C-alpha cells in the first residue's frame, strides 16, 4: 500500500508565514507558523520556508518524498507566467521577486503561487463553506474588504490580476467616504472593520446618541467593530442602525455580483463576518431585494468555515490542481 502523500500549503504574510501539511482531501494534518523575515531585502524568506518544511518533516520522521509539492499564497500582484511577485515592498523585496523559482530551487519540489485572497477562496471551495461548488465568490471582511472569484472551478484573475477587487466596488456613487484606493464610496469604506468604526464614530461625534455604544465611546474615545455588533445584540438601536447600513450595502453589492455570475454560493469570511447572523440576516434581506429572481432562488450566502486556515488549504489545492490529482 502506498502511504498517503502530502502537500505543503504556505500562506505568506507580512509578519507571519503559516505553513501546513495537507492531504489530498484538503485536510490539515500539521500546521505551524514562522516569522516572516523581511530583513536583507527579503532574501531569507524562501530559505526559511524551505528549512521549516525540512525540519518539520524530520521532526515527524517523514521523508521528503512524502511531499508532492508546495502551494503558496502571497500578498500582492503576481505574474503567473513566471511566478514572480511584483512590487511587494512590505516583504522587503525590491521591485519583483522570483518567488516560485526561488522556492523550487531550494526544495526541488513543484511550486505554484497565487494571490493570497484567491487562495482563501480556493480553500473555502475545496474543503470549506463552498465544498463541492464550482462557482463561488469569497468576500473577506477584515481591516479592508478583499475578494476571490471562482468560476467553472478555477480562479478568475482578470487581465491585470485585479479581478476580485470587491472592496472597491462603488456602493455610494455620490458623496461616499474617501477610500484608500483614491476613489470614494467603495464597499470597503462601509463593510470593513475600519468602515464600521468610521460609520459609528461619524455619528457618535455629531449626534447626542444614547445607549451602550455611546457609553463605550464616551469611556474610551473610540469603538471597535466588535463593540458595534455587541451593542446591537444587546438592543442598542443606534448600533443596529449601523449594522442595517452595512447590511444594506453588502446586500446591494453582493446581489449585483450574483446577477453577473450567479455563483452557487457567496462566502463571507474575515473578522467582521464573525458577527454571524446579526449581520448575515440583514445582508440576506437586502440581497433578496436586489437579486434577479433566478439568481435569488439559486445563489446562497454563507459564512466561511475555515477561518485562518483557508489560505494554506487553498494554496495546497493549487498543487492538487496542477498535478491533476
The residues of the shown chain that bind its own copies, judged by CB under 8 A, are 77, 133, 135, 137, 147, 149, 151-152, 154, 156-166, 168-170, 173, 181-183, 252-253, 255-257, 259-264, 289-290, 292-295, 297-299
Q: Which is nearer to its own copies, 295 or 316 (CB)?
A: 295
What is the smallest separation between the CB atom of 148 and its own copies, expressed in angstroms?
11
What is the smallest separation between the CB atom of 195 and its own copies, expressed in angstroms?
16
Q: Which is nearer to its own copies, 234 or 289 (CB)?
A: 289
What is the smallest separation between the CB atom of 161 and its own copies, expressed in angstroms?
7
Q: Which is nearer to its own copies, 5 or 259 (CB)?
A: 259
Burial class (CB in 10 A: 0-12, 13-18, 19+), 102: buried
Q: Which is nearer to its own copies, 170 or 305 (CB)?
A: 170
Q: Which is nearer to its own copies, 51 or 256 (CB)?
A: 256
What is the smallest separation between the CB atom of 228 and its own copies, expressed in angstroms?
23
Cell of 20: 501546513
Q: Which is nearer to its own copies, 159 or 205 (CB)?
A: 159
* DSSP3 helix / strand / coil % (the chain, rounded to 5): 45, 20, 35
What is the smallest separation between the CB atom of 167 and its own copies, expressed in angstroms?
9
What is the smallest separation between the CB atom of 182 and its own copies, expressed in angstroms?
6
Dihedral angle computed from the Cα positions of residues 245, 144, 115 and 270, in that order, rounded to the nearest 10 degrees: -70
Burial class (CB in 10 A: 0-12, 13-18, 19+), 279: buried
What is the smallest separation between the CB atom of 291 and its own copies, expressed in angstroms?
8
Q: Which is nearer to its own copies, 4 or 154 (CB)?
A: 154
Question: For residue 125, which phi and psi values (nearest 5 degrees)?
Answer: -70, -40
> What is the torsional sign of CA 13, 180, 98, 95?
negative
CA–CA separation, 233 and 239 (whole Å)? 9
> What is the torsional sign of CA 8, 11, 12, 16?
negative
C-alpha distances in angstroms, 92 versus 51, 84, 105, 136, 232?
19, 14, 20, 33, 42
Q: Give the bridge partners for 24, in sequence order.
A: none
Under 8 Å between Cβ of 253 and 187: yes
Amino acid at each position: 500500500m502506498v502511504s498517503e502523500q502530502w502537500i505543503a500549503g504556505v500562506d505568506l504574510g507580512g509578519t507571519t508565514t503559516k505553513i501546513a501539511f495537507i492531504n489530498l482531501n484538503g485536510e490539515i494534518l500539521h500546521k505551524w507558523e514562522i516569522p516572516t523575515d523581511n530583513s536583507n531585502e527579503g532574501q531569507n524568506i524562501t530559505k526559511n520556508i524551505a528549512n521549516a518544511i525540512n525540519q518539520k518533516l524530520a521532526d515527524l520522521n517523514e521523508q521528503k518524498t512524502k511531499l508532492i509539492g508546495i502551494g503558496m499564497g502571497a500578498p500582492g500582484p503576481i505574474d503567473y507566467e513566471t511566478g514572480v511577485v511584483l512590487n511587494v515592498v512590505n516583504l522587503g523585496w525590491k521591485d519583483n521577486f522570483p518567488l516560485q523559482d526561488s522556492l523550487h530551487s531550494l526544495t526541488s519540489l513543484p511550486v505554484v503561487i497565487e494571490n493570497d485572497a484567491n487562495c482563501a477562496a480556493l480553500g473555502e471551495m475545496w474543503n470549506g463553506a463552498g465544498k463541492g461548488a464550482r462557482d463561488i465568490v469569497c468576500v473577506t471582511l477584515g481591516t479592508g474588504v478583499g475578494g476571490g472569484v471562482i468560476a467553472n472551478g478555477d480562479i478568475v484573475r482578470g487581465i491585470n490580476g485585479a479581478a476580485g477587487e470587491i472592496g472597491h466596488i462603488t456602493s455610494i456613487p455620490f458623496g461616499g467616504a474617501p477610500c484608500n484606493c483614491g476613489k470614494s464610496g467603495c464597499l470597503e469604506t462601509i463593510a470593513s472593520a475600519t468602515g464600521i468604526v468610521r460609520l459609528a464614530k461619524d455619528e457618535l461625534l455629531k449626534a447626542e446618541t444614547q445607549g451602550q455604544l455611546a457609553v463605550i465611546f464616551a469611556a474610551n474615545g473610540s469603538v471597535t467593530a466588535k463593540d458595534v455588533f455587541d451593542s446591537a445584540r444587546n438592543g442598542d438601536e443606534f448600533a443596529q442602525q449601523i449594522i442595517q447600513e452595512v447590511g444594506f450595502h453588502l446586500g446591494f453589492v453582493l446581489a449585483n455580483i450574483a446577477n453577473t455570475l450567479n455563483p452557487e454560493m457567496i462566502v463571507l469570511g474575515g473578522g467582521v463576518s464573525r458577527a454571524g447572523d446579526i449581520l448575515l440576516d440583514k445582508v440576506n434581506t437586502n440581497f433578496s431585494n436586489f437579486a434577479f429572481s433566478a439568481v435569488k432562488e439559486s445563489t446562497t450566502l454563507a459564512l466561511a468555515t475555515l477561518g485562518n486556515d483557508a489560505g494554506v488549504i487553498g494554496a495546497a489545492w493549487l498543487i492538487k490542481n496542477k498535478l491533476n490529482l
